[in-house]
Structure 1
């Protein structure tokens, strides 16, 4: 089978990791191509994972009418030239343009919703605009994959997908990467974590979606009770400079580490006492899932797919998005109670190890491909 995976970017992120891991673990009988904007942290990984990599330099975020039209033309030409058996689109921009191109060419399309491009904190007109765009591509999609069942049900309510041609496939993670031997003392030394200090970590893009500014505000409150604590921020993004200004203004710059994008995320999670997120919207939260797989307690917002696996006071602690006070309270509680960190972390590990195996994810995706192609063959 000849398959093209199409994603907007290959920057470090959950959707990108999911897509690249799928490419890396596809059945050897597959001829797997990848098309994306060629610039990003995982450029080398993307080129190794795909049998053929097709750069789409005009595929960018956010909306850019001239570049979007150019990209649509490029995708149509690519589909016509390569004659793929199936197109698998990922993320919102690539998902829309790819599905429109698939309709023009007449190729079966599977689309994965890694997260919604809209959220409750944007203006209502803008939210509805994005919902309408997603609806426009629904009839061009042979099958939908969501990374959580809550997302699938929400998408169905919004008429973005139909339940009868959709399925939840949890975003698999490579356990071998998480379980590799680690010298945690070396990691602490490299990160300059003082002896006996506690650490809170966040992994993700430094942007409006992840909203790390709320976590920084909460962390400033945590330091009032736990001064010997560090906050580790892993990731890059356009908010970097404003976040650095924020910690300076709060007078906590010596307690916050901006670590950038890194390949040693599992090691950083292992030396962390608590993992936290302050996102405004998420599909599910891949870095959060990795922390849970490692057995770390998580403090995360009660949004979208997150409560599907973070059950409050069982596998983690939840708080309302933007609620800095409750986020700080949960962090204080876990720093104060190591036995609770251990209990929640163990429960989280037990649950997620059953659901997020990468090999199972790829098997489920390939079964969907077979089903889509078989259904189309029956109709002919």
Structure 2
């Protein structure tokens, strides 16, 4: 068994945060010695500690680029790796990958692995910023023994931009606890939020941050709700955009039809309460909420970005749109609300597509297998 350090940047229960936590928990259950390093504070730290996983705070690890703190964080991680004598350093997030991979090589850690949950560059950024992050990804890809991607489109991007050696690539979907989602109690959630039986819920599960297309969804819902009294919009999550989104709902005269739940641990109960699950993101590594909706048998209206089309087949398991297509979102909502059979068929097709390869148990088994391969046989990737 191996001694492993996982490095995640922010202590948030996000897609990458849950992926890293479930991986660490699963590896610990398999008998590995696992520690979880992250910026301190936040719900992710509590979740890690509550599950008996060793938590190591990296006090200078922050999200924005900060040269002084970044150097201090590098030094912190280097000392942890040297004193801990870890067999494997497994990094997550773009910034975590840059600092962590460098620290791993400086400390002489035997095996260094990076999971690509999404790239820090995207088409909506300036050319200069994109080129900088592509350059950094190329440089630091050389410092690891394997690159794990959570979706095929991320691999396609890496190949196109010549990021790393394709022989070191592995694809492992960001798995979920399928059974947990299928057992969610949506009926009680609807009652708790005073949703009438005849009302339909269009739902969002997301960090309330930029890039998630949340203002687009509010606008599309407002256009939809003008002539419909039996629809509600439920936004599950927290973030710095919450106040502005609430103000937008007031300005659009739909505040009484929009439910802001704040952060919730029991996501399956909320997903099961929804009639349609929607994702308006402008960029996504995979779109974990899409998997969760599929496990619950919900029709999905989502943007055709990142790893989402790897999961959603247009007009078979959901409806795909371009980011920012407010009118398209409105029409898609109308289509599914007016055609209950179509909505039901899309949801059932989505549920059937959720096989064991999308489970957290399978994800952990695949990652453990990659560890063994690298420790004993050298790198032979290309599981994609």
Q: Distance in 1 between matches of 2:204 and 2:187?
A: 20
Q: Report how far residue 353 of structure 1 moved.
A: 2.7
Partner of 1:76: 78
Q: Which runs of 5+ in 2 are unaligned?
A: none
Structure 1 outlier segments of 4+, above 6 Å: none
SS for the counterpart of 1:84 is coil
Q: Distance in 2 between matches of 1:186 and 1:367?
A: 40
Q: Does 1:171 align with 2:174?
A: yes
Partner of 2:329: 327
Q: Is contact 2:200-2:232 (8 Å) kept?
A: yes
Partner of 2:155: 152
Q: Report how far residue 123 of structure 1 moved.
A: 1.3
Q: Distance in 2 between matches of 1:335 and 1:354?
A: 30
Alignment of 1:301-316 (within 5 A): 301-316=303-318
Q: Does 1:113 align with 2:116?
A: yes
Partner of 1:250: 252
Q: Distance in 1 between matches of 2:187 and 2:361?
A: 31
Q: CA RMSD in A?
A: 1.6
SS for the counterpart of 2:155 is helix
Q: Is contact 1:33-1:50 (8 Å) kept?
A: no
SS for the counterpart of 2:114 is strand
Partner of 1:292: 294
Q: Report how far residue 128 of structure 1 moved.
A: 1.4
The TM-score, its normalising length taken from structure 1, stands at 0.96
Q: Report how far residue 181 of structure 1 moved.
A: 5.8
Partner of 2:11: 10
Within the candidate set 235, 238, 256, 1:236 is matched to 238
Q: Is contact 2:24-2:53 (8 Å) kept?
A: no
CA deviation profile, 1:341-372 (whole Å, cap 9, x unmatched): 11001111111234311111111000100111
CA deviation profile, 1:268-324 (whole Å, cap 9, x unmatched): 111100000111100111111101111000000001111111010011100011111
Q: Report how far residue 60 of structure 1 moved.
A: 1.2
The count of corresponding residues between Structure 1 and Structure 2 is 377
Within the candidate set 162, 165, 168, 2:165 is matched to 162
The TM-score, its normalising length taken from structure 2, stands at 0.95
Partner of 2:54: 52
Q: Report how far residue 57 of structure 1 moved.
A: 2.0
Q: Does 1:221 align with 2:223?
A: yes
Q: Is contact 1:34-1:50 (8 Å) kept?
A: no
